[in-house]
Amino acid sequence: MLDLRRRQFITLLGGAAAWPRAARAQQGERMRRIIVLMGIANDAEAQARAMALREGLKTLGWTMGRNIQIDYSFADGDAERMRVYAKEAVASGADLILAVTNPALQAVRNATRSQPILFLQVSDPVGGGFVESLAHPGANVTGFTNFEPEMGGKWLQTLKEMAPAVEHVAVVLHPETSAHAGFLRTAETASIALGIKVTSLGVHNVNEIEPAITQFALMPKGGLIVAPHPLTRGKLIIDLTAHHRLPAIYPFAFHAREGGLLAYGIDQLDQWRSAANYVDRILRGTKPADLPVQQPTKYELVINLKTAKALGLDVPPMLFGRADEVIE
């Protein structure tokens, strides 16, 4: 049984966590239960995604507290905590486990090979061994990807366009996340034509981030690519790049809105809304193996002009024209 005292739940969404038993008993249909394992913290971004999922489910006939209950667990980048949550989620007998981020999916896959799993915000699920192929995932897993390995090269090209003086770029990554090796590899391939030296800046926990970036900042004409991971999600890296005057590109729009120079990545809320369709189909009996893995259809380029000005950078007109959002 899940120890609810050790969880943070989204309780401001009109019942996204536990609802009173009496309210459920008044309804005639069986309550379906979903457990969402989040590698990130319970913050405004997480709540916005949960709301998007809830809204998508509502259009398909699923109402919180009437026929569906969603419990959220937040590991906040702690791998051991995620392993514990995954085992408890499996033991609870939930109708569906929703794993968000590569570490969450890895933990759940290690805990079960039979219980239905739907993943979100997972990079390179084939390379990571989570599914057999995108078209035919196999076993008990399917979901929605965020980035394929080629994004490493695209992030590097965009960073170079924004900061042409950059000659050394470090990819801030989590060594145990298999998809990050793909980002590094494609960045290295793209670096040849761009005349840039690419290196890996591996961090295993949040305590390693500051000394790693501080050491790298000693090198002139440096820049950063920040790979998607719960460890790289907070403001620490944004603050460090500002302090060391390092141009950096991030995977999600909220990074730029919080002060990062550039962000290029998926529209996360769109993906969470779209996931409601797969949740609905699985709860109604479709096997995850029969649902193809979905790839992103919408990407966002966000530029923070204030940060660019602080770094002494002018936004090239072509890059400015491609931007989906420009933060003054």
**Which CATH number characterizes residue 246's domain?**
3.40.50.2300
Longest Cα–Cα distance of the chain, Å, equals 67
- One domain for residues 60 and 160: no
Contact 289, 137 (CB under 8 A): yes
pLDDT at 234: 84
Give residue-wise pLDDT tens across range 135-188: 999 989 999 999 989 999 999 999 999 999 999 999 999 999 989 999 999 999
- One domain for residues 210 and 95: no
- One domain for residues 106 and 162: no
- One domain for residues 123 and 195: no
Percent share of the chain, pLDDT over 90: 79
- One domain for residues 291 and 169: no
**Residue 194 domain boundaries:** 151-266+300-327
Residues linked to residue 249 through DSSP beta bridges, in sequence order: 225, 262
Query: What DSSP letter does each residue of 118-165 carry, written as one string?
Result: EEEEES-TTTTTS-S-SS---TTEEEEE---TTHHHHHHHHHHHH-TT
Q: What is the average per-residue pLDDT within 246-267?
A: 95
- One domain for residues 180 and 127: no
Amino acid code (one letter) for 13:
L
What value does the mean pLDDT of the chain take? 90
Q: Where are the beta strands (DSSP E) in 11-153?
A: 32-38, 68-74, 96-100, 117-122, 141-145
The two beta strands, 299-304 and 262-266, are: antiparallel
> How many domains does the structure of the chain reveal?
2
pLDDT at 28: 55
Contact 226, 232 (CB under 8 A): yes
- One domain for residues 166 and 203: yes
**Above 50 in pLDDT, residue 107?**
yes
Which of the four pLDDT bands, split at 50, 70 and 90, describes residue 45?
A: confident
- One domain for residues 125 and 35: yes
Contact 16, 72 (CB under 8 A): yes
Give the containing element (helix H, strand E) for 88. Answer: helix 79-91
- One domain for residues 215 and 315: yes
**Above 90 in pLDDT, residue 319?**
yes
Give the containing element (helix H, strand E) for 310. Answer: helix 305-310
- One domain for residues 279 and 162: no
Residues linked to residue 263 through DSSP beta bridges, in sequence order: 250, 302
Q: What are phi and psi of 42, to 5 degrees?
A: -85, 90
Closest-CA residue to 307 (of 190, 178, 102, 162): 162
- One domain for residues 224 and 286: no
Residues linked to residue 36 through DSSP beta bridges, in sequence order: 72, 98
- Long-range contacts of the stretch 205-212 (C-beta < 8 A, 24+): 205/77, 205/231, 206/77, 206/231, 206/234, 206/236, 209/172, 209/236, 209/237, 209/240, 210/236, 210/240, 212/172
Which of the four pLDDT bands, split at 50, 70 and 90, describes residue 114?
A: very high
**In terms of pLDDT, which residue wins out, 249 or 40?**
249
Residues linked to residue 300 through DSSP beta bridges, in sequence order: 265
- One domain for residues 168 and 94: no
**Above 90 in pLDDT, residue 212?**
yes
Q: What is the average per-residue pLDDT within 91-114?
A: 94
Which of the four pLDDT bands, split at 50, 70 and 90, describes residue 297?
A: confident
pLDDT at 2: 40
